[in-house]
Structure formats: structure tokens, C-alpha cells
């Protein structure tokens, strides 16, 4: 549950669920997110879930920190948690054209390419949050043997569709963007589709994701 | 679709449609966006007789050169802006901000530059013929959403206008931009990650707005802010005004098109009452921060709201 509530500036409530980064903590964050969202409280402009925090921003001419903080503390949680969670299968091509950092990973982790990919594919991932750029999912946890820090110097441009890993996390670059994660492949799937206004993000907090390998031919034909 | 439009003869540096922003999409990575200078946005719409949800053209530094191909429209510009109206009969008129003017078929409006500021706004009575995206007309160029396919204006494009029949009536206000001395902030959630010298520097030394400043954020330069605890945190939500300090010790202030989560420690958050003034600071401007408490910040915002209302009430 919420360990500490404070203000973030004069227009947001900052709810801290503790230092632990795990699914249990995150499921609590998401539960609060979904419950608060349903209430449609006047003045709330955004609710932002992350690994272990929930930030509730508001229009300060309509409500204030103290009022909203009390509403969050008094919130009656509906326990039908994550009834909408999905399991999503994402194809990845690991051709050398796409696996920009496999060499570095292999060297740093002292593992063969196959070993790294076996560890990576043989796992179901959990979506902690979506954000930074539109639709980018932050997934976890990767197996301990393939965990590595991000690049010392981030890339100016990471190609759209890139799959990156760092620490215990994995993400998918929904747009070409700067970034420092270790890139191990690329997916042809549109992870963020703005033409689907109702549900533009394919992967949402609480969802589960597995990856499977496709050939370069399959990759090229995927969107035909 | 109406056949009346402005042709873009020069797009300007960063010209987009903006309104009051896009709400409740943080959880999928979409920031609020919206007009960088909210007060100037509200004043302009009031001048031309629009409600607050009718989008304006926002421009930065250099604005667009537009040619009207339409029956007349009533227009206004807010901000601190140099502009000229080039009449179809070749007469050139100096533009005045904060007053309405008429544009007729064939007239051009040349928005030359913003003075000692960044953003300006162009409004027309009735607004533009554009579609909202998630209940907002704001263009978010990062996610490429909003009208105009989510990208900034290009050369020779047409901006269709909704022609609204209305009688021209001169409206103007005297509006002076309040002089800026301090940007007032509240302590951030990671304030104690920084050394005493670091926080002292933050509040006592002067910072300069760098060239790395856009709708997403503002990088400022000054004394390095030393972190004595941890230079990365687990990514968490961001809002406009948050000041993050990465490992290099140079603060970054989040502005309207911020990334929705970030992993650098937050030293402070700019109070809501100072957002408009903050966004108008151009590269090279000096910034000094002043620490306030939450109740002061709340009162300062009430004051800001009252001031805005008073200005809007002068327009009749």
C-alpha cells in the first residue's frame, strides 16, 4: 500500500509505494491508478503510474494538494484487480542488422549469443508501466544472467521497433528516439498505433508479454 | 471543408496549433502539451471572441508568413511580437499586439519575431478547420499526434479557417508583461540527494538558459549541482515544471511536451504561477531560483488566477 504521500510541486500528489521494485508493489500502484481513474475526480489532469510511484497531477484552481491527498488516503479500493490484463506475443528479428548491442552483451556477460537469446526468450515479462515516449512499455524482469547497465554514452537515435534491455528491465522503442538501452533485436509490430484512438498502446501496465523469434524474411513480410 | 484558408509562405521555426492541452493520457506516454504561455493564449481567444477551446497558432522566435485566401477574418496576436500586415494593395501596416485587426482576401501577415521572449500566438475569430485528437487540438510533434498529422507547419501548406460571420469591432487591452526577478520553486522529492553546497548554489547563484531549450524542456547552465547520494532513480512520473538534475550536474526543467517518466533526481519544482514567465525565457536569459513553501505557492497561484481574470474582464 502507499508508504508515503507528499506533494510534487503545487499541482501534483506524489504517492510512494516503497523502494521495492517488484510485481506486487506495481500491482498496487496499478490498482490505485485504475480505481482513481474510474472516480473521475474533478480537477485531476493526469494519473501517472510507474514501478513504485503514482503521481496524481491536478489543476490547482479546481482542487489542491490537501483535498486530493485525503481523497487518495480514503480511497475504497475495488479488488477486481487487473481484470483487463492481456497476454501479448511479440515477434522479434535478431538479425545482426537489428541486434546492435549483442556483441557488447556477449563480451561483458561472457556469454554466447545463443545463450543470451535463450535466456531472453524463455521468459514471460510483466509490464510495469508505459511512458517516456508514447506507448513505450517498461517490462520485467529479465533473467539475472543477462542483466547489464545501460550504455555509457546513449545513442542519439535508436531505431523504431528496437528491443532494449538494461538492469532487470526490457523495453520497446515505439518511435525513433534517443536512448541508452542495450539493443538486441527489432519487432515489426506497431506497439503504438495512433489510428486506434480507443486503445493506441498495444501493451499496458499489468499486461504480460512473451517474445518469439522470426526470420528476416518473416520480418520484412510482416506488414504486407 | 471550407475553401477559405491561409497559405503558408514561410512556416517559421516551430509553428504549431495549441490549446489548453491534452489530459489524462500520461499512462500511455502522452504529455499534456498545450500553449506554453497559458495567459497569452487565454487573452488572445478572448480578444477575437473565441471560447478557450479554440486553438491558436503558437510560434517560437520567428513566426510564419501567411497569406489569406478567404473573405475577411478578425485576428489578433499576443505575446511580445514584431509583425507586419501586408495589405493586398501593397500598403504595409505595423502590427500591434493585444488588439484585434481585420484581414481581407489577399492580405498577408508577416510574424517577424518575438522580442526578448520565445512564444507568441496568432488567433482568428472562429478558429481553424482542424480535428481534435483525444479532445485536444494541440500538436505533439514527439508522438506525432494532433492536427496536421502531429507535425509542425511546413511551406506552402494550407490552414483552413472556419469563417464565422461577425462584425468587426476593435478590441484592445494594455497588457504589460510583469518583470521577472525570480523563478519560484518548491523543494523536489529528491532534494536531499544533493550536497549542501549544491543546494546553496542552486538558490544563490545565477543560471543561464541554454540553447538546448524547446517545448520538451529547458536546459540551464550555471554552477554544477553536486549529487551525493544517487544520480539515477527508478523512472517515475513527471509534470511541467519539474527540475531534474542528471549526473553531469546541469539542471533540466520539464516544459509542456516533457517525457512522461524520467529517471533523474528532482531537486525542485517550479510553482504553477511562474510557468508562463518561465517558458518565455529565451536562451541567454538569467534565472535565479527562490524557495517557497506549498501554502505560499498556492496563494501565488490564486493571485495569478485573479490577475488573469482581471485582464480578461477588461476585454469587452
- Measured between beta carbons, the chain B residues lying within 8 angstroms of A54 are 237
What is the distance, to the nearest Å, from the Cα of residue A167 to the centroid of all Cα atoms in its chain? 14
The phi and psi torsions of B299 (rounded to 5 degrees) equal -70, -40
Give counts: helices (H), strands (E), chain B: 4, 21
**pLDDT tens-digit series, residues A101-154:** 999 999 999 999 999 999 999 999 999 999 999 999 999 999 999 999 888 787
**pLDDT tens-digit series, residues A82-103:** 567 899 999 999 999 999 999 9
User: In this complex, is the C-beta atom of B269 within 8 Å of any C-beta atom belonging to chain A?
Assistant: yes
Is B165 among the domain residues? no
Number of domains, chain B: 2
Q: What is the CATH number of the domain that holds B154?
A: 2.60.120
Give counts: helices (H), strands (E), chain A: 5, 13
Does this model's pTM top 0.90? My answer is yes
Test the B interface: residue of A16, A21, A134, A169 with most B CBs within 10 Å? A134
> Looking at chain A, which residue has its C-alpha nearest residue B243?
A9
**pLDDT tens-digit series, residues B97-137:** 999 999 999 999 999 999 999 999 999 999 999 999 999 99
Is B31 among the domain residues? yes
User: Can you give the pLDDT at residue B177?
Assistant: 73
**pLDDT tens-digit series, residues B69-95:** 988 999 999 999 999 999 999 999 999
- Check whether B147 has a pLDDT greater than 80: yes
Percent over 90 (pLDDT), chain B? 90
* B196 and B119 share one domain: no
* B153 and B190 share one domain: no
Among the four given CATH numbers 3.40.50.620, 3.30.1360.40, 3.10.580.10, 3.50.50.60, the one describing domain A4-73: 3.30.1360.40
**Cis, peptide link before residue A6, omega less than 30° from 0:** no
Q: Which residue has the higher pLDDT, B263 or A188?
A: A188
Is B170 among the domain residues? no
Q: Where are the domains of chain A?
A: 4-73, 87-221
* B68 and B202 share one domain: no
Architecture of domain A87-221: Beta Barrel (2.40)
Is B172 among the domain residues? no
Q: Which residues contact B227 (CB under 8 A, 6 or more apart)?
A: B193, B194, B195, B198, B245, B247, B249, B265
Q: What's the rounded Cα separation, in Å, for the pair A20 and A26?
A: 9
Q: What is the CATH number of the domain that holds B224?
A: 2.40.100.10
**pLDDT tens-digit series, residues B192-249:** 999 999 999 999 999 999 999 999 999 999 999 999 998 888 999 999 999 999 988 9
User: Can you give the pLDDT at residue A147?
Assistant: 96
All cell numbers assigned to A96: 545482426
First-to-final CA distance of chain B? 31
- Measured between beta carbons, the chain B residues lying within 8 angstroms of A8 are 188-189, 239, 242, 266, 269
Is B27 among the domain residues? yes
Q: Can you tell me the ipTM of this complex?
A: 0.95
Name the 3-class secondary structure at B205.
Answer: coil
Residue range(s) defining the domain that contains residue B263: 183-313
User: In this complex, is the C-beta atom of A151 within 8 Å of any C-beta atom belonging to chain B?
Assistant: no
User: In this complex, is the C-beta atom of B29 within 8 Å of any C-beta atom belonging to chain A?
Assistant: yes
Q: What's the rounded Cα separation, in Å, for the pair B76 and B100?
A: 5
User: In this complex, is the C-beta atom of B186 within 8 Å of any C-beta atom belonging to chain A?
Assistant: yes
User: In this complex, is the C-beta atom of A201 within 8 Å of any C-beta atom belonging to chain B?
Assistant: yes
Q: Which of A171-180, B172-181, B302-311 has the highest mean pLDDT?
A: B302-311
Inter-chain CB proximity B236 and A55 less than 8 Å: yes
Nearest CB among A9, A11, A132 relative to B261 is that of A132
Inter-chain CB proximity B26 and A131 less than 8 Å: yes
Test the A interface: residue of B27, B186, B229 with most A CBs within 10 Å? B27
- Measured between beta carbons, the chain A residues lying within 8 angstroms of B305 are 61
> Looking at chain A, which residue has its C-alpha nearest residue B294?
A10
* B303 and B224 share one domain: yes
Strands B183-187 and B289-291: parallel
User: Can you give the pLDDT at residue A197?
Assistant: 85
* B19 and B141 share one domain: yes
User: Can you give the pLDDT at residue A17?
Assistant: 97
* Mean pLDDT, all residues of chain A: 94
* B291 and B144 share one domain: no
Amino acid at each position: 500500500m502507499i508508504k508515503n504521500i507528499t506533494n510534487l510541486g503545487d499541482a501534483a500528489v506524489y504517492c510512494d509505494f516503497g523502494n521495492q521494485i517488484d510485481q506486487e508493489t506495481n500491482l498496487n500502484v496499478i490498482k490505485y491508478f485504475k480505481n482513481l481513474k474510474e472516480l473521475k475526480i474533478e480537477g485531476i489532469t493526469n494519473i501517472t503510474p510507474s514501478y513504485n510511484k503514482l503521481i496524481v497531477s491536478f489543476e490547482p484552481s479546481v482542487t489542491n494538494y490537501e483535498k486530493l491527498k485525503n481523497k487518495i488516503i480514503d480511497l475504497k479500493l475495488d479488488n477486481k484487480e487487473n481484470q483487463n490484463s492481456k497476454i501479448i506475443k511479440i515477434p522479434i528479428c535478431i538479425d545482426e542488422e537489428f541486434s546492435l548491442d549483442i556483441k557488447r552483451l556477449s563480451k561483458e556477460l561472457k556469454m554466447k549469443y545463443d545463450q543470451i537469446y535463450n535466456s531472453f526468450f524463455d521468459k514471460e515479462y510483466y509490464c510495469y508501466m508505459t511512458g517516456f515516449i508514447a506507448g513505450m512499455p517498461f517490462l520485467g524482469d529479465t533473467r539475472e544472467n543477462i542483466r547489464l547497465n545501460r550504455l555509457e554514452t546513449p545513442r542519439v537515435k535508436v531505431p523504431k521497433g528496437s528491443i532494449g534491455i538494461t538492469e532487470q528491465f526490457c523495453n520497446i522503442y515505439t518511435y525513433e528516439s534517443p536512448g541508452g538501452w542495450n539493443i538486441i533485436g527489432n519487432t515489426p509490430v506497431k506497439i503504438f498505433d495512433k489510428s486506434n484512438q480507443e486503445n493506441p498502446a498495444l501493451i499496458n501496465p499489468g499486461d504480460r508479454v512473451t517474445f518469439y523469434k522470426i526470420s528476416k524474411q518473416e520480418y520484412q513480410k510482416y506488414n504486407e | 471543408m471550407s475553401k477559405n484558408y491561409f497559405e503558408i509562405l514561410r512556416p517559421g521555426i516551430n509553428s504549431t496549433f495549441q490549446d489548453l492541452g491534452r489530459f489524462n493520457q500520461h499512462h500511455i506516454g502522452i504529455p499534456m502539451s498545450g500553449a506554453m504561455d497559458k495567459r497569452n493564449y487565454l487573452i488572445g481567444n478572448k480578444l477575437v471572441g473565441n471560447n478557450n477551446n479554440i486553438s491558436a497558432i503558437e510560434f517560437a522566435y520567428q513566426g510564419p508568413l501567411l497569406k489569406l485566401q478567404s473573405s475577411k477574418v478578425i485576428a489578433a496576436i499576443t505575446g511580445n511580437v514584431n509583425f507586419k500586415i501586408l495589405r493586398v494593395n501593397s500598403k504595409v501596416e505595423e502590427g500591434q499586439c493585444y488588439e484585434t485587426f481585420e484581414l481581407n482576401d489577399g492580405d498577408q501577415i508577416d510574424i517577424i519575431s518575438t522580442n526578448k521572449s520565445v512564444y507568441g500566438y496568432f488567433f482568428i475569430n472562429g478558429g481553424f478547420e482542424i480535428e481534435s485528437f483525444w479532445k485536444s487540438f494541440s500538436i505533439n510533434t514527439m508522438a506525432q499526434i494532433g492536427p496536421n498529422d502531429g507535425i509542425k507547419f511546413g511551406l506552402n501548406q494550407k490552414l483552413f479557417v472556419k469563417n464565422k460571420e461577425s462584425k468587426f469591432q476593435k478590441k484592445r487591452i494594455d497588457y504589460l508583461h510583469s518583470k521577472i526577478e525570480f523563478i519560484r520553486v518548491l523543494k523536489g522529492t529528491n532534494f536531499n540527494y544533493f550536497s549542501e553546497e549544491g543546494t546553496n548554489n542552486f538558490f544563490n547563484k545565477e543560471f543561464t538558459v541554454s540553447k538546448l531549450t524547446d517545448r520538451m524542456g529547458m536546459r540551464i547552465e550555471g554552477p554544477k549541482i553536486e549529487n551525493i547520494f544517487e544520480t539515477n532513480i527508478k523512472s517515475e512520473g513527471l509534470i511541467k515544471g519539474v527540475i531534474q538534475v542528471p549526473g553531469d550536474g546541469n539542471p533540466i526543467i520539464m516544459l509542456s511536451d516533457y517525457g512522461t517518466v524520467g529517471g533523474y533526481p528532482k531537486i525542485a519544482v517550479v510553482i504553477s504561477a511562474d510557468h508562463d514567465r518561465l517558458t518565455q525565457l529565451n536562451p541567454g536569459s538569467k534565472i535565479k531560483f527562490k524557495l517557497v513553501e506549498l501554502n505560499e505557492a498556492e496563494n501565488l497561484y490564486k493571485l495569478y488566477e485573479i490577475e488573469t481574470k482581471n485582464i480578461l474582464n477588461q476585454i469587452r
